[in-house]
Amino acid sequence: MRFEILTIFPDLLSSPLGEGILRKALEEGLIEVTFRNLRDFTFDRHNTTDDRPFGGGEGMVMKAEPLALAVEQVKQNAPSSKVILLSPQGETYNQVIARELSLETSLVLVCGRYEGVDERFRERFVDREISLGDYILTGGELGAMVLIDSITRLLPGVLGCSDSAEKDTFSNGLLKHPQYTRPRVFREMEVPEILLSGDHSRIGEFRFAESVKRTVERRAEMIREKKFSSDELKILKKYDLYEKVRTLQQGKARVQG
């Protein structure tokens, strides 16, 4: 996977890439990350990348020319690159989008600033507009880092355990079940006995039920959209979760039994 970051602050994200899984992925050649300074694509002596908006109004707007020239340079070597604009007006980022983007070979992440980017650049060059959520950051750089991190961990060979990404929160439409490790007793709180049984079938059922229970309690809207198999419904009944799930899904014809 190749990531091209278009920004006016190319050094802002160097530290996260030098640690942990991202550093390892870079060293092993599983990803390539290049920062392109938008000021290198300007022609005035001040290297201007923004200007006042036509029609007046608050703030500054990022100019179309530097952004367009930077994208065109990237596409000379990677013409199939998808251009992603980090913007509060984009679709809200989630695990489904992360998985879709992980199937690409090259992504251009455009880091907006100020009041946004010239609309003509967005119309002509942007393939997808993505927001991290309903809040405003000072720029798109942190959003770009979130995309790089979440997409990279989905790439083959990045995580030490091949099943980790498949069993993460959101990957199966549910929050992940509670996790425990040593010691067995911590401040008078014990690990659930079933996790010590060695019966992997029962442990799997227990973890699934706990995952559903946690999702019901914290993210009920996810349950409303979740489709359960017949075997999963049996587990829900066994753990007295079926009625709670059915209540949440009434009218959606998702739970049958």
Distance of CA 233 to the CA centre of its chain: 29
Alpha helices, DSSP H, located in 91-193: 95-102, 119-125, 141-152
Using one digit for the tens of pLDDT, what is the confidence trace for 35-68? Answer: 999 999 999 999 999 999 999 988 999 999 999 9
Query: Residues 178-220: pLDDT tens digits?
Result: 999 999 999 999 999 999 999 999 999 999 999 999 999 999 9
What pLDDT, in 10s, does the model give residues 134-183?
Answer: 999 999 999 999 999 999 999 999 997 666 666 666 668 899 999 999 99
Known binding residues are: 112, 132-137
**CATH of segment(s) 2-152:** 3.40.1280.10
Closest by CA position to 226, among listed 202, 255, 195: 255
The per-residue pLDDT for 58 is 87
How many angstroms separate the CA atoms of 41 and 31, rounded?
25
By the 8 A CB rule, do 203 and 177 touch? no
At 23 the pLDDT is 96
Helix-then-strand count for the chain, H and E: 9, 9
**Distance in angstroms (rounded) separating the CA atoms of residues 10 and 219:** 37
Please check whether the domain covering 185-249 is classified as CATH 1.20.120: no
| HEC letters along 6-63 | EECCCCCCCCHHHCHHHHHHHHCCCCEEEEEEHHHHCCCCCCCCEECCCCCCCCCEEC
Q: Determine how β-strand 189-190 pairs with β-strand 185-186.
A: antiparallel
Residues labelled catalytic: 88, 115, 153, 168
Binding site membership for S-adenosyl-L-methionine: which residues? Answer: 112, 132-137
Residue ranges, CATH 1.10.1270, the chain: 185-249
* CATH 3.40.1280.10-classified regions of the chain: 2-152
Task: Look at residue 160 in the predicted model and tell me its pLDDT.
Answer: 76
pLDDT at position 255 over 60: no
